Structure 1
């Protein structure tokens, strides 16, 4: 079987730690091109993988041999680059947040449909083993009716992760669009929607810029969300969790409570109200910490969808719905009122 020829646009940390190694380990893929505005970055990866190096994504997507691209550029470029690549006949795996507006997201979805190409958004939390098992448990009804939840995604900030450190584009509103809410919060809105199988209908939020100096984006946020059946809970997204990372989710339900990624030894724990418990050790969740990089299964799924001509689990529509919750939270903070989604 011929290999899918891939180009990677943006050669910063997310490409270095996630996309490139996961494509490289996939037997159905050949990486043939890299693009970055810093030529040395693209050239270094091109040399390592015997590929071509570009500094302009428009040149890369004109390469007729490339069948699929990963868009790993700063947030504000996600939509324009994805749209151009889809128009050029490439399948697209786009990093989150997929766009800076609802209109951009809809344009991405429309062009993918018009050109018959796959559009997948790189929300990796749906593929985490504990989360896959949790969805099955919830669907099966073991917990009974879900009443509430709390979820958090926070760490010390992207300066420890980004290729540019404290000078990273993550802190620049023009390029990043939003901060911790777009970097981390949108992962959790996507996860919650996936786990409860419902859409959120209302949001209230406090979104602050308080922890990072010389930053023009949010770095600390807490949201209250309500689903269509009345499930309520909190979502926290932060670049101010200094001293450790929190990537946990807890559900409170009719028959007990379920803790996900909230214990160092067991990634899924259920405490039933009858006194019994379940503990499952299902492997570590993806982390930004050095030495803790694991397979996110995102690239694996994206390539399988191309080969099998199937729809990605996190397609453009799913990405748009998860992003809509973030937009509502930002609007709530601005207007100081509860916002309908």
Structure 2
């Protein structure tokens, strides 16, 4: 059996509750190294799983026993650490958003190319069955021409989930750079590109900071998107849904409507114009609440499967960069009060 020795860079909530928890269940993974600037957090994981603990990511990257790393740090460090890891000969799974600026994402892509290793970005939305079946429906023409969509991702915010609560890096402009848009909006941007199979050209963003008085970053956004084939839709990202989490997407076509993660009983609903109705429950998606945490994100398994089988990772850096670009354009649109138009 092929074993991949994995190191975790960043032992906060995302690193522990998602990456470590899912790697630990993967028979092809051995957790061998843990890093966090709060060294006690790394040492706590070392006591559970063995291996080594580090305060500096640079020291972990010098560990020849590490084959691959997960980068679970504040957003502004994603590019710096991922590039260093690739240059050190490690495969990389980087949390989203891939980066916070176009030039640094270009450097990440170039570092991967030169290294001969793989860089994957942790977009889980495209991996769940509801969204994969929906993509098949669209590709098979069961919706006909797609006219419009609406997609949303909203919950109460990361303060009750992050290990640092309201003091978390999520709310600090110099560390997160983007708030709800980088945390949630980029997931939905990636999803719509995946489902529709085309790029977003025009972006209008309406973005605010009203819900978190202790935060430096955006917490609410509604964006208008137009794709290559003139599909228009809305994307909403919010840290102010103080109730049930919303992770829904609805797609409208000439032959019917797809409703994804929008119904409490059926996570997949197709309503055909001809009267056909398909209702399924494929299990839904991972959430931040206790029940939702028990579901796998599927990201870690997909990353390891690609490495073991020597296949291309399912969410490449080139692909993930385009999803971040939508979010950056939305932020620029809000700043300039103009529609940002792509090529």
Q: Distance in 2 between matches of 1:126 and 1:137?
A: 14
1:53-90: CA deviations, max 9, x gaps? 11100000000110100000010000000000000000
Q: Distance in 1 between matches of 2:284 and 2:144?
A: 27
User: Where does 1:27-46 land on structure 2 (aligned, <5 Å)?
Assistant: 27-46=27-46
Could you say what secondary structure the match of 2:93 adopts?
A: strand
Q: Does 2:230 match 1:230?
A: yes
Q: Distance in 2 between matches of 1:41 and 1:53?
A: 9
Q: Distance in 1 between matches of 2:140 and 2:276?
A: 18
1:23 is aligned to: 23
Q: Distance in 1 between matches of 2:228 and 2:270?
A: 25
Q: Does 2:177 match 1:150?
A: no
Q: Distance in 1 between matches of 2:196 and 2:284?
A: 22
2:261 is aligned to: 261
For normalisation by structure 2, the TM-score amounts to 0.98
Q: Distance in 2 between matches of 1:264 and 1:15?
A: 29
Alpha-carbon deviation of 1:214?
Answer: 2.0
Alpha-carbon deviation of 1:230?
Answer: 0.3
2:318 is aligned to: 317
1:242-289: CA deviations, max 9, x gaps? 112000000011011110000011011011122231101101211111
Q: Distance in 1 between matches of 2:200 and 2:64?
A: 41
2:309 is aligned to: 308
Q: Distance in 2 between matches of 1:46 and 1:171?
A: 28
2:341 is aligned to: 340
Q: Distance in 1 between matches of 2:19 and 2:112?
A: 21
Q: Which runs of 5+ in 1 are unaligned?
A: none
State the Cα RMSD in Å: 0.8
Q: Say whether the 8 Å CA contact 2:166–2:214 is kept in structure 1.
A: no
Could you say what secondary structure the match of 2:290 adopts?
A: coil
2:204 is aligned to: 204
Q: Does 2:120 match 1:101?
A: no
For normalisation by structure 1, the TM-score amounts to 0.99
1:284 is aligned to: 284
2:178 is aligned to: 178
Could you say what secondary structure the match of 2:84 adopts?
A: helix
Q: Distance in 1 between matches of 2:284 and 2:50?
A: 32
Q: Distance in 2 between matches of 1:30 and 1:38?
A: 23
Q: Say whether the 8 Å CA contact 2:130–2:284 is kept in structure 1.
A: no
1:164 is aligned to: 164
Q: Which runs of 5+ in 2 are unaligned?
A: none
Q: Distance in 1 between matches of 2:95 and 2:297?
A: 13
1:175-202: CA deviations, max 9, x gaps? 0010000000000000000000000000
Q: Name segments (4+ residues, structure 1) moved above 4 Å.
A: none
Could you say what secondary structure the match of 2:292 adopts?
A: coil
Aligned length: 341
Alpha-carbon deviation of 1:102?
Answer: 0.4
User: Where does 1:77-96 land on structure 2 (aligned, <5 Å)?
Assistant: 77-96=77-96
1:116-137: CA deviations, max 9, x gaps? 0100000000111100110111
1:193 is aligned to: 193
1:31-62: CA deviations, max 9, x gaps? 00000111111111110001211110000000
Q: Distance in 1 between matches of 2:199 and 2:144?
A: 19
1:291-323: CA deviations, max 9, x gaps? 222111111111111122211111100110111
Q: Distance in 2 between matches of 1:161 and 1:192?
A: 26
